[in-house]
Structure 1
Amino acid sequence: MSDREDFLVGEFPFVPKQERALIKRNALLESGHTLFISRGYEQTTAKEIAAHAGVATGTFYRYFSDKRQLLMSLLEDKLDKLLPPEPSWLSGDPQSLLASLLVAHNKRLNELGLHRVLPELALKDSELAEILGAARRKIHARILSSLKQASEKGLTWRDLDLDTVSWAIMVLVENSQEKEARTGKLADYQEISKVICRMVFPPEVLSHLRNIADSNGLKC
């Protein structure tokens, strides 16, 4: 955990060591996880988290100073998993590889579930917003770096503004989750990958990269 993430979590009122106390703390974490996802952060109270976990409200405050600290504990070391994956452009068929990455990313998000809570909290939590912003800039820099490598090899459109394209890729990926939540329909990551790759590569380059991937058994 980075120093900034440690700052977000803060100092716990009490850190349990005995098994019985650890079980209670874990029950509160699981309860908070369930209620934050089902009700939203603002609509969930510490009292409700405690009741759902089958413990007294006082027990909640024995382990956590407030519901924010509990949420940050759930997010500890997981912020990077909530952000868009870094595409690989040079090690196979870009479209198939990117689609596979997006499917795996979507699976991770749904398993964790907390990506639905972050936008709500970040609007009111400047420290969290700063951490998320820094993490997004880091992912953007990595995507931009990989695009530059592809561009240096003459694979991308010549007139691309790579910085803008890098941000566009992030927006497309991030909005796919929001679209799923609003429509109830699963995102088509093959189509999203197709749009992104057509934005980056001329058709003849994509075809060439696919042929190389097929001949080397690197389709996905």
Structure 2
Amino acid sequence: MLTRIYQSLASLCLGLWLMGGVMALLAVGSFGGEEAAALNAMPLYVWLTRAPLAASWWLWGTLALLTLLTINTILCSIEAIRLRFGKSTLPALVAPQLMHLGFLLIVLAHLLSATGGAKEAMQVYQGSSIGFPDGSTLHVGPISVATGPMGMPADYRAQVRAVTGSRVEEGTVSPNHPFFHGGFGVYLKHAEEHPFPVAVMEIHREPGAGWALAGALLFTAGNGMLLALRRERR
């Protein structure tokens, strides 16, 4: 009985069905309306605790399938190493495992960001201060807006100064150029100078960002190795 369960969980066919199920549920969730759209404004598990089951059932289902897919990936790697060790070349043995490890690290990254992430938008003025959990403070300095020939905003930026005890860091926040402080990213979303300088900033914390990058690099490396191996065989 246990052997049959193990073989089923380690099946490549099961992995393909699980991936298809995940994509189907995510496709259904993309039509979730305003309640599902709120997911983009807060960490995953915060939204799950607040959203009614009628709006979040597809995401609970996705998490269940991803849990099974994670188990399937680990067991597939174990079986591949057990069956092919000493029977195939090292690159042919390692390449799929790099892809599997990359996938697992990406799953871990999303789990970390879903549980420990933060996202908050706020309106700030020149002279405003933003407090952080570690006791440090971010002070907002001059806010400037550059206007284009048509009178529309072409660029905007804000000077910021982070104070942690006796340590002071200064920088500039502008679109696509955030300011990072204490594990948080400070993003400038919009700014206006009239009737007085004001800006909209978003504070993000993504503890899984580094793991996601590592996973993506490993997954890409594994794919590259497999393509090279198949090219050599031809």
Fold equivalence (TM over 0.5) = no
TM-score grouping bracket, smaller chain normalisation: under 0.3
Larger Rg: 2
More strand, by proportion = 2
For CA contacts below 8 A with separation 6 or more, give which structure has more relative contact order: 1
So what's the TM-score if we normalise by structure 1? 0.22
Higher helix share: 1
| Alignment TM-score, normalising by the size of structure 2 | 0.22
